[in-house]
């Protein structure tokens, strides 16, 4: 141990008191020489002679000192310090160059860092729950409705129970649903309409998380129809915001949909709710309640109606393949008990949470990743190009060093040290900027269209990946820039190059030319993709939804289910419409089951005509149940026939109004007015078990986009409100001005009659539409940012190279000017050479973009990925930018007098 | 005429320094002189090798170095054997002896005439 301690002490002394070591050595050698001189002088020599002889016998003092330093150890460390000092001196000498390189470096790896961080937290290493890789979302595809492009990833209660009871691989499994309800947190405050997370108690086991305060739900009677505990668990944020982090919250009461529920727990701060089946965006949820299973869910005919979100935790070492195989076997075996529904082929599917998180944003992420990689590539090329161009000006210095005996390894080490300092500064800058960008993206709502918000801090894995990437780039750049220089310097041209013309050798020129060419290609790819996305966004902004959204407010009001009888509820809905109509400033109001732009999961229906009752080939449409005022509030008029009227209201009415798209899909060119149609819910019971109920088409309206903005509507069918369709009340309210001003009046109206019922999620229709733009808008902004970064990097790099190269040709230019060549001719010639090179790169970029246009097409709306105009504009833009860079550098070089140029 | 002074065999310098220091603390120049004196000028210590060897021995912990004053009242860096250094001498000496015996055995078999 003492030996170890002594060694540590020695190294620490060497590390921190190196100057003492050096001073001791200097003095010791000086004293040694003095002793030798004195001895010689005693033998009769003069001091001068004695000094000469002593020095001769002693040998090279510096060499001896160097050998002593070697014997101290830590030579590598010493070399590192020396090279670093040398590199720092070089950087200090040309600060502007260093700052530019650091910025280029950060721009180059920044986008990749941010994207890797997002991917890491969503897919590679999502760490929201313990052993998250064992958690699977289980959902089913049912053959008969598969082609309807159902985007809900769910299962049915019966399928869930089969798996719970029969699987050997599943450790725990549960179902869940997210829905909005009235929440009154305190007795004296007004109610809020909030998203509620309803789960079977086993979901706590699946996610491996328990409340940090209080308890979870009891497991009793959870898999049977009927009432559940009247309790609620609060999310951490809600507990803090609404209940001021009350430590005595347990046992207190919250009214949810008119029913008092006892608070039994608070979830930990880190807990987040997994996406609901088919959920595409992050929802703000504050309350978790036990999920009551309904009687009808246990009916045989409901086995294939998949709408419950389902998560399972598998036992250790169970793979996805094993689980899917077992689920398929269980499902097939049980399907034999449901002979009457054998036409529904149920195929179980699974997704890990990581897969789920990226399933719906895969296209967006892939495009962003591709662009980030292009930025990385162009950035690396710019850096290599710029470093090479800059180092070319050091050719004489390198040659001199080689002549003086510097080894190749020493020179490479010095270049590495310089690049490493730049890389370290760039990496630190990248971490800082990435952190700020992630926070900014989160605050700007960029992640709102993600199923789960990714981490907003740069994580350890990302930093490790970043460091590896930075090291790789540094090594490649250093070697790429030094190798051609060394070979040239070794060929002994370097020392003379300045005397000749100052121009680079042909190898260097070719090397630089290749870099500029590839860089131009990447810049054009980025420009074209950015242009296409921008055009696509303009197209989206230009979408006509088929109705007038100006001054329209949409809201949902949902009185507690058991407060009224069905008849009373129906009457209440009609009365409320009348009361709203009588509010000041209201021009029109209509009731609707599905307020426009409010749903992500659209209820899809099959619509058959009397003439062609083949339901298997029936067109798909979305259905809505509305009051006549709906059309007036949205400014929709009839193209053919009439709109719904008060006389159509009620259970006996069979009148329906369809939009132009559905009319075309069902009836082709025939006149639909007076024709009979029947509607089948896509997940409902189909003929022959469910005979058609024929309805009469009384009117046709313009095609409307009610729920989705970008997907062209497959058709909409409207039926009048009736007693049997009542569940909640959605309203569209047209006002004279500023429809949001009506919200306080609505709240007062409800407060008078039902203080525990909230005006649910009121927002102007224009805002609701804007929210639908958000995803595309965010994608566009992100990709445009990448385009701008990539372009900046490419232009900076290319311009830097052009400028450096032209600068090294200053002497040549001076001679040409001295020989009488006109300035304009030189500028023209230089610019033309660079443009030729850039043009080749542009051509390469266009070919690459054109080849991969099919992949880009999926992300564009009404925009051709091979749009010649965008290609043309991108090409011209890049050419202009390169021309400016080459032109300005050439002008700068020709602006000095020939004599001065030749003297430098 | 070839020099009478012989260069030291590689690896023997450490042993010589340790042996000299076993007689008491000395400074660098004195060590070199002592080796030449005892070997009757047969062994010549290259100055360039002496100090790296001394620093190496300090690093190994066999020798310590302190500033002091010489017999001639001059300031100098004085080297002294440590306990570990003393233990090491016997090991180095036995290694050297077995080495020299082995070399002698081979040399004795040489047919010079």
Beta carbons of B51 and A64 less than 8 Å apart: yes
Nearest to A67 among B29, B52, B77 (CB): B52
Split at pLDDT 50, 70, 90, the class of B74 is confident
Nearest to A71 among B47, B52, B65 (CB): B52
Q: Which of residues 15-44 of B touch A (CB under 8 A)?
A: 27-29
Distance (Å) from the C-alpha of residue A30 to the closest C-alpha of chain B? 10
A899 interfacial to chain B (CB closer than 8 Å): no
Q: What is the CA radius of gyration of chain B?
A: 16
Cβ proximity of B91 and B62 under 8 Å: no
Q: Which residues of chain A neighbour B77 with C-beta distances below 8 Å?
A: 24, 27-28, 31
Cβ proximity of A384 and A123 under 8 Å: no
Beta carbons of B29 and A36 less than 8 Å apart: yes
A24 interfacial to chain B (CB closer than 8 Å): yes
Beta carbons of B28 and A72 less than 8 Å apart: no
Beta carbons of A32 and B75 less than 8 Å apart: no
**Sequence-ordered list of residues with C-beta below 8 angstroms from that of A823, at least 6 positions apart, any chain:** A817, A894
Question: Which of B37, B49, B51 has the highest number of chain A CBs within 10 A, making it the mutation to test binding with A?
Answer: B51
The ipTM of this complex is 0.86
Angstrom distance (rounded) from CA A659 to CA A667: 12
A610 interfacial to chain B (CB closer than 8 Å): no
Beta carbons of B29 and A68 less than 8 Å apart: no
| Residue of chain A minimizing CA distance to B29 | A32
Q: Considering only the C-alpha atoms of chain A, give the largest distance between any 2 of them, rounded to a whole number of Å.
A: 138
Question: Which of A2, A64, A66, A75 has the highest number of chain B CBs within 10 A, making it the mutation to test binding with B?
Answer: A64
Query: Is residue A547 classed exposed, middle or buried when 0-12, 13-18 and 19+ CB atoms within 10 A define those classes?
Result: buried
| Neighbour count for residue A724 (Cβ, 10 Å) | 10
Cβ proximity of B78 and B25 under 8 Å: yes
Q: What is the per-residue pLDDT for A498?
A: 44
Nearest to B47 among A7, A10, A57 (CB): A57
**Sequence-ordered list of residues with C-beta below 8 angstroms from that of A754, at least 6 positions apart, any chain:** A559, A563
Split at pLDDT 50, 70, 90, the class of B9 is low
Beta carbons of A28 and B47 less than 8 Å apart: no
| Neighbour count for residue A868 (Cβ, 10 Å) | 8
Q: Which helix (H) or strand (E) holds A609?
A: strand A604-609
- Does B7 have pLDDT greater than 60? no
| Residue-wise burial string across A402-423, b where 16 or more C-beta atoms lie within 10 A, e elsewhere | beeeeeeeebebbbbbbbbbbb
Nearest to B59 among A10, A25, A32 (CB): A10
Dihedral over alpha carbons A570, A575, A578, A583 (to 10 degrees): -130
B48 interfacial to chain A (CB closer than 8 Å): yes
Cβ proximity of A871 and A528 under 8 Å: yes
Nearest to A365 by CA among A599, A534, A117, A129: A117
Tokens 């001059």 found at = B74
Q: Which of residues 64-83 of B touch A (CB under 8 A)?
A: 65, 67, 74-77
Question: Which of A9, A66, A68 has the highest number of chain B CBs within 10 A, making it the mutation to test binding with B?
Answer: A68
Q: What is the per-residue pLDDT for A319?
A: 94
Q: Which of residues 321-350 of A touch B (CB under 8 A)?
A: none
The mean pLDDT value for B35-59 works out to: 83
Angstrom distance (rounded) from CA A145 to CA A143: 6
Beta carbons of B47 and A64 less than 8 Å apart: yes
Nearest to B74 among A31, A60, A64 (CB): A31
Q: What is the per-residue pLDDT for A815?
A: 79
Sign of the CA dihedral A106, A109, A115, A120? negative
Q: Kindly report the CA angle at B64 between B62 and B68, in degrees rounded to 5?
A: 155
Tell me the H-state helices in A279-347. Answer: 320-335
Q: What is the per-residue pLDDT for B2?
A: 40
**Sequence-ordered list of residues with C-beta below 8 angstroms from that of A203, at least 6 positions apart, any chain:** A174, A175, A176, A311
| Neighbour count for residue B5 (Cβ, 10 Å) | 12
B46 interfacial to chain A (CB closer than 8 Å): yes
Size of the A and B interface in Cβ pairs below 8 Å: 59
Distance (Å) from the C-alpha of residue B97 to the closest C-alpha of chain A? 27
Cβ proximity of B79 and B54 under 8 Å: yes
Question: Which of B27, B48, B69 has the highest number of chain A CBs within 10 A, making it the mutation to test binding with A?
Answer: B48
Q: Which residues of chain B neighbour A64 with C-beta distances below 8 Å?
A: 47-48, 51-52
Nearest to A520 by CA among A611, A650, A385: A385
Give one word for B41, left, alpha or beta, with left for phi > 0 and alpha for psi -120 to 50.
left
A29 interfacial to chain B (CB closer than 8 Å): yes
**Sequence-ordered list of residues with C-beta below 8 angstroms from that of A836, at least 6 positions apart, any chain:** none
B52 interfacial to chain A (CB closer than 8 Å): yes
Note the pLDDT tens digit of each residue in A79-125: 788 888 888 888 888 888 888 888 888 888 888 888 888 888 888 87
A32 interfacial to chain B (CB closer than 8 Å): yes
Tokens of A397: 């210095």
Q: What is the per-residue pLDDT for A600?
A: 52
Beta carbons of A68 and B51 less than 8 Å apart: yes
Q: What is the per-residue pLDDT for B29?
A: 87
Tell me the H-state helices in A94-200. Answer: 95-119, 143-146, 157-166
Beta carbons of A31 and B61 less than 8 Å apart: no
Split at pLDDT 50, 70, 90, the class of B93 is confident
| Residue of chain B minimizing CA distance to A54 | B47
Note the pLDDT tens digit of each residue in A170-228: 999 999 888 888 888 887 777 888 888 899 999 999 999 999 999 998 876 677 887 88
User: In which residue ranges of chain A is pLDDT below 50?
Assistant: 146-150, 493-504
Q: Which residues of chain B neighbour A57 with C-beta distances below 8 Å?
A: 47
Beta carbons of B47 and A32 less than 8 Å apart: yes
Q: Which residues of chain A neighbour B52 with C-beta distances below 8 Å?
A: 64, 67-68, 70-71
| Residue of chain B minimizing CA distance to A13 | B59
Identify the DSSP state of B9. P
Nearest to A518 by CA among A372, A384, A371, A366: A384
Nearest to A35 among B29, B51, B67 (CB): B29
A63 interfacial to chain B (CB closer than 8 Å): yes
Angstrom distance (rounded) from CA A384 to CA A376: 12
Nearest to B51 among A10, A29, A57 (CB): A29
Nearest to A778 by CA among A455, A440, A544: A440
Angstrom distance (rounded) from CA A658 to CA A715: 7
Distance (Å) from the C-alpha of residue A814 to the closest C-alpha of chain B? 54
Q: What is the per-residue pLDDT for A166?
A: 95
Angstrom distance (rounded) from CA A22 to CA A445: 60
Distance (Å) from the C-alpha of residue A54 to the closest C-alpha of chain B? 10
A2 interfacial to chain B (CB closer than 8 Å): no
């Amino acid at each position: 141990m003492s030996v170890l301690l002594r060694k540590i002490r020695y190294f620490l002394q060497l590390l921190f008191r190196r100057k003492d070591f050096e001073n001791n050595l200097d003095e010791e050698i000086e004293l040694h020489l003095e002793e030798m001189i004195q001895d010689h002088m005693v033998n009769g020599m003069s001091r001068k002679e004695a000094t000469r002889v002593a020095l001769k016998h002693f040998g090279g003092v510096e060499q001896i000192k160097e050998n002593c330093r070697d014997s101290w150890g830590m030579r590598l460390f010493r070399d590192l310090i020396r090279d670093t000092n040398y590199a720092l001196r070089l950087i200090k000498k040309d600060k502007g160059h260093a700052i530019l390189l650091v910025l280029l470096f950060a721009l180059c790896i920044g986008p990749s860092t941010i994207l890797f961080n997002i991917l890491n937290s969503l897919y590679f290493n999502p760490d929201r729950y313990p052993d998250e890789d064992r958690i699977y979302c289980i959902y089913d595809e049912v053959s008969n409705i598969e082609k309807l492009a159902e985007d809900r990833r769910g299962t049915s209660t019966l399928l869930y129970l089969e798996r719970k009871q029969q699987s050997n691989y599943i450790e725990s499994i549960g179902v869940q649903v997210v829905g909005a309800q009235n929440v009154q947190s305190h007795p004296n405050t007004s109610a809020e309409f909030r998203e509620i997370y309803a789960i079977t108690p086993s979901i706590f086991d699946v996610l491996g998380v328990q409340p940090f305060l209080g308890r979870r739900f009891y497991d009793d009677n959870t898999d049977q129809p009927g009432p559940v505990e009247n309790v609620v668990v609060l999310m951490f944020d809600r507990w803090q915001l609404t209940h001021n982090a009350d430590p005595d919250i347990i046992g207190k009461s919250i009214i949810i949909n008119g029913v008092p529920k006892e608070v039994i727990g608070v979830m930990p701060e880190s807990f987040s709710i997994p996406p609901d089946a088919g959920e595409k965006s992050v929802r703000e949820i504050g309350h978790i309640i036990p999920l009551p299973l309904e009687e009808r869910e246990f009916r045989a005919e409901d086995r294939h109606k998949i709408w419950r979100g389902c998560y399972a935790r598998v036992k250790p070492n169970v793979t996805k393949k094993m689980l899917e195989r077992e689920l398929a076997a269980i499902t097939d075996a049980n399907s034999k008990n449901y002979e009457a529904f054998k036409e529904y082929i149920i195929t179980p599917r699974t997704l890990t949470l990581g897969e789920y998180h990226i399933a719906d944003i895969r296209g967006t992420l892939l495009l962003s990743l591709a662009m980030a990689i292009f930025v990385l590539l162009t950035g690396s090329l710019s850096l290599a190009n710029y470093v090479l161009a800059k180092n070319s000006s050091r050719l004489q210095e390198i040659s001199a060093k080689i002549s003086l005996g510097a080894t190749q390894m020493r020179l490479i080490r010095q270049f590495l040290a310089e690049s490493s300092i730049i890389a370290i500064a760039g990496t630190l800058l990248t971490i800082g900027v990435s952190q700020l960008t992630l926070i900014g993206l989160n605050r700007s709502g960029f992640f709102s269209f993600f199923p789960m918000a990714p981490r907003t801090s740069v994580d350890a894995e990302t930093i490790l990946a970043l460091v590896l990437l930075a090291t790789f780039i540094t090594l490649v750049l250093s070697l790429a820039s030094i190798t051609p220089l060394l070979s040239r310097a070794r060929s002994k041209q370097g020392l003379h190059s300045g005397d000749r013309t100052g121009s680079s050798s042909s190898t260097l020129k070719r090397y630089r030319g290749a870099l500029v060419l590839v860089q131009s290609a990447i810049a054009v790819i980025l420009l074209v993709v950015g242009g296409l996305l921008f055009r696509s966004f303009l197209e989206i902004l230009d979408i006509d939804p088929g109705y007038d959204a100006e001054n329209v407010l949409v809201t949902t009001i949902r009185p507690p289910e058991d407060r009224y009888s069905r008849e009373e509820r129906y009457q209440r809905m009609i009365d409320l419409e009348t009361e709203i109509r009588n509010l000041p400033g209201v021009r029109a109001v209509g009731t609707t089951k599905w307020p426009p732009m409010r749903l992500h999961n659209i209820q899809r229906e099959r619509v058959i005509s009397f003439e062609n009752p083949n339901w298997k080939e029936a067109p798909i449409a979305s259905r809505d149940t509305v009051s006549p005022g709906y059309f007036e509030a949205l400014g929709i008029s009839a193209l053919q026939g009439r709109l719904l009227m008060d006389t159509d209201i009620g259970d006996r009415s069979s009148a329906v109004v369809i939009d132009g798209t559905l009319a075309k899909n069902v009836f082709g060119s025939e006149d639909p007015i007076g024709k009979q149609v029947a509607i089948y819910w896509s997940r409902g019971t189909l003929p022959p078990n469910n005979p058609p109920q024929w309805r009469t088409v009384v009117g046709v309206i313009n095609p409307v986009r009610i729920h989705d903005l970008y997907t062209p509507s497959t058709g909409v069918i409207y039926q009048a409100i009736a007693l049997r369709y009542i569940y909640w009340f959605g309203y569209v309210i047209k006002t004279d001005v500023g429809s949001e001003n009506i919200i306080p009046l609505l709240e007062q109206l409800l407060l008078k009659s039902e203080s525990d019922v909230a005006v649910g999620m009121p927002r102007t229709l224009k805002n609701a539409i804007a929210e639908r733009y958000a995803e595309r808008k965010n994608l566009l902004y992100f990709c445009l940012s990448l385009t701008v970064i990539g372009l900046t990097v490419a232009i900076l790099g290319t311009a830097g190279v052009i400028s450096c190269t032209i600068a090294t040709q200053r002497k040549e230019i001076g001679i040409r000017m001295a020989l009488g060549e006109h300035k304009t001719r030189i500028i023209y010639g230089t610019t033309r050479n660079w443009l030729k090179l850039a043009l080749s790169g542009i051509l390469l970029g266009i070919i690459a973009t054109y080849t991969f246009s099919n992949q880009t097409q999926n992300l564009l709306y009404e925009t051709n990925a091979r749009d010649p105009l965008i290609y043309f504009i991108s090409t011209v833009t890049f050419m202009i930018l390169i021309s400016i860079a080459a032109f300005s550098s050439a002008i700068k070089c020709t602006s000095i007098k020939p004599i001065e140029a030749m003297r430098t | 005429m070839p020099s009478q002074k012989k260069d030291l065999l590689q690896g023997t310098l450490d042993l010589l320094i340790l042996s000299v220091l076993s007689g008491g603390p000395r400074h660098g120049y004195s060590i070199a002189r002592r080796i030449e004196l005892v070997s009757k000028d047969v062994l010549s210590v290259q100055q360039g090798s002496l100090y790296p060897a001394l620093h190496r021995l300090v690093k190994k912990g066999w020798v310590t170095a302190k500033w002091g004053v010489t017999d001639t009242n001059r300031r100098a860096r004085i080297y002294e054997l440590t306990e570990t250094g003393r233990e090491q001498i016997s090991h180095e000496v036995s290694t050297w002896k077995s080495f020299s015996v082995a070399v002698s055995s081979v040399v004795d078999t040489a047919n010079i005439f």
